[in-house]
Amino acid sequence: MYEKTLTQLAVALKKGEFSSRELTTHYLQRIEKADSKLNSFISVTAEQALAQADAADSTRAAGKAGALTGIPLALKDIFCTRDVKTSCGSKMLDNFIAPYNATVVEKLNAAGTVSVGKTNMDEFAMGSSNENSFYGPVKNPWDLSAVPGGSSGGSAAAVAAGLVPAAMGTDTGGSIRQPAAFCGITGLKPTYGRVSRYGIIAYASSLDQAGPMARSAEDCAHLLGVIAGHDGRDSTSVARGVPDYVEGLNAPLSGLKIGLPKEYFGDGLDPAVEKAVREAVSVYESLGATVREVSLPHTHYAIPAYYVIAPAEASSNLSRYDGVRFGHRCENPSDLIDLYTRSRAEGFGEEVKRRILIGTHTLSEGFFDAYYTKAQKVRRLIRQDFLDAFQDVDVLMGPASPTPAFDLGAKKDPVSMYLQDIYTIAVNLAGIPGISVPAGFVGKRPVGLQILGTHFAEAQLLNVAHQFQQATDWHLQRPAFAEENA
């Protein structure tokens, strides 16, 4: 069963080849057998999952099943899930049981999907390797000595290893696309506002966006159709109709205009990654697309702008964790200041503390205009670069990451870690959608092709990605780990 894509499992359930309980049990057994080696899950909710599976089987028996009824999946541990620990990968929330469901969780429940657990992640979504988790690092199933990427590394590793057919992630600066690339799966970051952020524990509110991670673009199309849409509880959610993302997947690519940003193919890009990406682009040319070079001139400002804006928003969002209302509380505080100080010092990890301090500094008097205001002006220029490019081309293509997955413990300098997101961060600053699809290997480590579109062009991105996957089989490749733990 684990070898099937989400789409294939949905068809098999509809045909009655197996029940949702049988399918869910299959994945729970795989998690129990293999995840001790990967550490991709923080919580496994077996009892709840089997209850949801039984409900899905009853719905199907009554003739009321939807397309995804009975499909098991996992949730990044950043989505509030009623009566389930929602830790955000942090000691600060290790004891937090969410009292309500995030909108994404509500919509998945309404669609009849089955949640088997919560996946590991970089603490408060701050990281590019999944080494910043309170629960320990996640390992890449393609090579257990490598990172799976971050911050949605647990979701990516679980899908790649066949522990679930799909998972939900969030992307603030590349945290869906980069781990998808490192783990050889498909990951979609929708347009900002396309998916509700209600109930997603905030890192940087103007950048965070939830999206699906699965084997194929077709799988992601099914999932996006469920989770997308306006939500009155999220003021940044856009009131815009949700198209049928599956319907347009098979549209031909003849006449498609592809832009290759010259800034994405310069210094710092691994030559083997560049070779795989250019070979993937040549596949599109064989499918009738035309290719031209374009420029995104402010790209080199994206990382410094991001690491002013995101920490500033994090400083504000994480101020609520003070040891008073919920979350970690230090023992025997001597006074209120001691309570605040020790609770936060004990509850937050090093990377989270670093970003809180950076953000607090940039928001302080005397530095706000010098840093934060300028970063927002740069953000506007970056957004305009993309809008200008999309006047001449339909989509942009390039690498998702400058290198394949690196070794665990290899990036000890925070700046070298931040540079891993050089090709993904600008997309969040501009609010446009992006998808990473498997496009080859460097040795035994996967390479991801990143495809970008203009605002609300998810249907086109999914079509472009799907047609590539019809012409190649990179997305069907499985790590030996998946077979060894069958």
Separation CA 430–CA 192 (nearest Å): 9
What stretch of H or E contains 427?
A: helix 425-430
Q: Is 445 helix (H, G, I), strand (E, B) or coil?
A: strand
Separation CA 329–CA 341 (nearest Å): 10
CB-based contacts of 415-419 (< 8 A; 24+ apart in sequence): 417/127, 417/128, 417/129, 418/128, 418/303, 418/307, 419/268, 419/303
What CATH number corresponds to the domain at position 194? 3.90.1300.10
10-residue stretch averages of pLDDT, the chain, 486 residues long = 95 97 98 97 98 98 97 98 98 97 98 98 97 98 98 98 98 98 98 98 98 98 98 97 96 97 95 98 98 97 97 96 94 96 97 96 92 96 98 98 97 90 97 98 97 98 98 97 88
Q: Is residue 150 a contact partner of residue 132, using CB atoms and an 8 Å limit?
A: yes
Separation CA 446–CA 438 (nearest Å): 7
**Pairing state between β 41-44 and 72-76:** unpaired
pTM score of the predicted model: 0.97
The answer as to whether 177 is a domain residue is yes
Count of C-beta atoms within a 10 Å radius of residue 54: 16
| Cα torsion through 348, 154, 238, 371, rounded to 10 | 40
Number of domains comprising the chain = 1
The answer as to whether 47 is a domain residue is yes
Q: What pLDDT, on the 0 to 100 scale, is given for residue 157? A: 98
Q: What pLDDT, on the 0 to 100 scale, is given for residue 372? A: 95
Q: Which residues are catalytic?
A: 76, 151, 175
Q: What pLDDT, on the 0 to 100 scale, is given for residue 485? A: 85
Separation CA 205–CA 188 (nearest Å): 18
The answer as to whether 250 is a domain residue is yes
> Could you list the residue range(s) of the whole structural domain that residue 186 is in?
6-256+457-484
Sequence-ordered list of residues with C-beta below 8 angstroms from that of 267, at least 6 positions apart, any chain: none
Tokens 């699965």 correspond to: 214
